[in-house]
Structure 1
Amino acid sequence: MHSSPLLTNIPGLRTGFGNNRELVPSSLCTHWDTVPVKIQVHGTSVVEVTEKNQQCGDADAFFTSVPGIPLTVITADCVPILLARRDGKMIAVAHAGWRGMKDGVLAALWQQLQARGERPEDWVAAIGAHIRACCFEVSEELANDFVQQYSDLDATLVRPSHRHLDLNFLARVALKQIGITEIDHHSACTLCSKNQDGKYVFRSYRRGDRNSFQHSGMLILP
């Protein structure tokens, strides 16, 4: 998935996902110099962004209601999640690898939004390209930890094959636990997806790309 119908249908909202050829979507490149400065650390810290080029420190989730401020997610194989209010008055993003998913980065983000009176039924979400269950092999111990953490769910959905985790499914579970039910999630796998020329569509840390980080998702309020 390189675009999200749910997000693009929001009036005035500008959004896009990058890939190996175009790390920042061309339609959003002119805003790159104003993005907040951050270090994503696979944690659960949340920052409200109120100005361009804001120094955000170590954080993995961000939100703003200020027009013209771009929010971005930078990933290597982790899950980029873009969220927006249906009326386009507030946006949020989250960087969710297995650590962030396990520790509840989306729940931490929603706690901040809920404290500001936000209601989940007013929001939609889109999950960008990330390493999918076909390629995301982990240790047996970690796979079992996730199965135990989500013991109320079908284990074959959490771990669809031996030692493989489905981060896409887990991201959707986390969003639905918040109450956000409209989710674009048919995204590609960053490790194995190829175009018609046989070239990889995305950069991937697990594939050993020297500079694996890509600008996976970007949102700008009208």
Structure 2
Amino acid sequence: MTVTTSLEIITSDLLDGVRHGFFTRRGGASSGIFKGLNCGTGSSDQTSMVDTNRARVADAMGVPILQLVTVHQTHSARAVAVEDAQPLPRPEADAIVTATPGTAIAILTADCQPVLFADRKAGVIGAAHAGWRGAVDGVLDSTLEAMEELGARRENTHAVIGPSISQRAYEVGPEFFETFFDEDRENSMFFINGEGDRFLFDLPAYGLHRLRRAGVGQAEWTRHCTYSDPERFFSYRRSVHQGEADYGRLISAIRL
């Protein structure tokens, strides 16, 4: 883990040689339920605070704020390629890829999987927001396909899943299980029994399975649970359980 100024930035050895980070909530300007580094423009936090937080992230990544590129996330499987500046309006997508040096790409999460990709040989990077719906629908595969269009090779690509909700905190109903079982019967291995008719779902293990099935060279999860560590991470599910009106969004970024 690397710490830049007052920000806490989780990094992975798999992405050595490429500037990247899964930012925790520490070191931000927001207060109240958004206390810390809330980077969610879709939250009800003060716009000036979110802008300040994003500027701190851009500074940590060594880029001007307009070269910290994000998208309008919709839990889709769509990946877009970007060049050297933030497209406006932000495109609707859940993954971003680029081969432009000096451009940082970033996605926002609050329990869903933030996944950062790099093919260092080809000089191509990617970032994906992979909740359960996006993961089932193929957002990780779409990211790899978009990277290949820029010259990457998936067998040379490393992928890292950042802080996400862990299995012990992710209770789901039988209809959720059926969705995964219908997609592939082998998906039952990502569920264990909970109370009554409930199940506990292992989202990061499913993400790793999809990445490896897609043929990435190496993949790992940082093993941080967003739900279980409120001092470091925002969590949508925890905010619902606590009856809070809204929740902050974590940012994860990578640049060449």
TM category, shorter: 0.7 to 0.9
SS at match of 2:212: helix
SS at match of 1:16: strand
Q: CA separation of 1:114/1:26 partners in 2, compared to 1, >3 Å: closer, same or farther?
A: closer
Q: Is the Cα contact below 8 Å between 1:19 and 1:201 reproduced in 2?
A: yes
SS at match of 1:41: coil
SS at match of 1:100: helix
- How many Å apart are 1:151 and its aligned residue? 1.0
The separation in 2 between residues aligned to 1:25 and 1:116, in whole angstroms, is 24
Tell me the number of residue pairs that the alignment of Structure 1 and Structure 2 aligns: 210
Structure 1 residue aligned with 2:135:
101
Residue 4, structure 1, aligned to residue 12, structure 2? yes
The separation in 2 between residues aligned to 1:60 and 1:91, in whole angstroms, is 14
The separation in 2 between residues aligned to 1:143 and 1:170, in whole angstroms, is 13
Residue 40, structure 1, aligned to residue 59, structure 2? no
- How many Å apart are 1:182 and its aligned residue? 1.0
Letter in 2 for 1:203: F
Q: Which runs of 5+ in 2 are unaligned?
A: 2-9, 28-36, 38-56
The separation in 2 between residues aligned to 1:88 and 1:5, in whole angstroms, is 18
SS at match of 2:200: coil
**What is the aligned counterpart of 1:15 among 15, 20, 26?**
20
TM-score, normalization: structure 2?
A: 0.75
Structure 2 residue aligned with 1:196:
none
Q: Which has the larger radius of gyration?
A: 2
Structure 1, residues 35-63: CA drift from partner, whole Å, max 9, x if none? 22421010011110012122341100110
Structure 1, residues 132-156: CA drift from partner, whole Å, max 9, x if none? 1111112221123213323135x2x
Q: CA separation of 1:116/1:20 partners in 2, compared to 1, >3 Å: closer, same or farther?
A: closer
- How many Å apart are 1:31 and its aligned residue? 4.1
The separation in 1 between residues aligned to 2:175 and 2:62, in whole angstroms, is 42
Determine which structure has the larger helix proportion and give its number.
2
**What is the aligned counterpart of 1:78 among 101, 108, 112?**
112
The separation in 1 between residues aligned to 2:167 and 2:228, in whole angstroms, is 11
Q: Which runs of 5+ in 1 are unaligned?
A: 194-198
SS at match of 1:160: strand
- How many Å apart are 1:26 and its aligned residue? 6.7
Letter in 2 for 1:79: Q
Residue 213, structure 1, aligned to residue 249, structure 2? yes
Q: Is the Cα contact below 8 Å between 2:156 and 2:217 reproduced in 1?
A: no
Q: CA separation of 1:107/1:123 partners in 2, compared to 1, >3 Å: closer, same or farther?
A: same
Letter in 2 for 1:142: F
Q: What percentage of residue pairs aligned between the two structures are identical? A: 30
Q: CA separation of 1:143/1:200 partners in 2, compared to 1, >3 Å: closer, same or farther?
A: farther
**What is the aligned counterpart of 1:60 among 91, 94, 103?**
94
Alignment of 1:186-197 (within 5 A): 186-193=222-229
Q: Is the Cα contact below 8 Å between 2:166 and 2:225 reproduced in 1?
A: yes
TM-score, normalization: structure 1?
A: 0.86
Structure 1 residue aligned with 2:51:
none
The separation in 1 between residues aligned to 2:58 and 2:103, in whole angstroms, is 16
